[in-house]
Amino acid sequence: MNVMDNKAALVGLHNIIYNVDGEVFITREVMPHPNFNPMFMMFGFINYDIMLVFLDGASTANHVVTVKLNSDPLLHTVGQSLMVMG
């Protein structure tokens, strides 16, 4: 798999030249922040430059921590306020 392909993601890589500790996954879906506007980056405004990246597998590296999305509809509902840290 070509890691320069737009559909590839490197996970856990610490040195892009010497890939000794990274894993390559295919991205199933990417969801940029709804308020992200790449045009603002030309002017130095880097707001909302985050996105969710859904991979085709799970990392097996012990130095990688991933987020597991909630699958229980009773925990939180759409539109409910949450406090997020990170």
2-35 per-position pLDDT tens digit: 544 568 888 888 777 776 778 889 999 888 888 8
Q: Tell whether 85 is covered by a domain.
A: no
* pTM higher than the cut 0.75: no
Q: Tell whether 19 is covered by a domain.
A: yes
The predicted pLDDT at position 86 comes to 56
* Total number of domains constituting the chain: 1
Could you tell me where the beta strands, DSSP code E, fall in 1-86? 8-11, 23-32, 51-55
41-84 per-position pLDDT tens digit: 778 777 888 888 899 998 888 778 777 777 887 777 777 887 77
Q: Tell whether 75 is covered by a domain.
A: no
The predicted pLDDT at position 73 comes to 75
Structure letter (DSSP) for residue 76 = -
Tokens 């949450």 appear where? Answer: 82
Q: Tell whether 81 is covered by a domain.
A: no
CATH number of the domain to which 59 belongs: 2.40.10.10
Q: Tell whether 79 is covered by a domain.
A: no
Which domain does 39 fall in, by range? 1-70
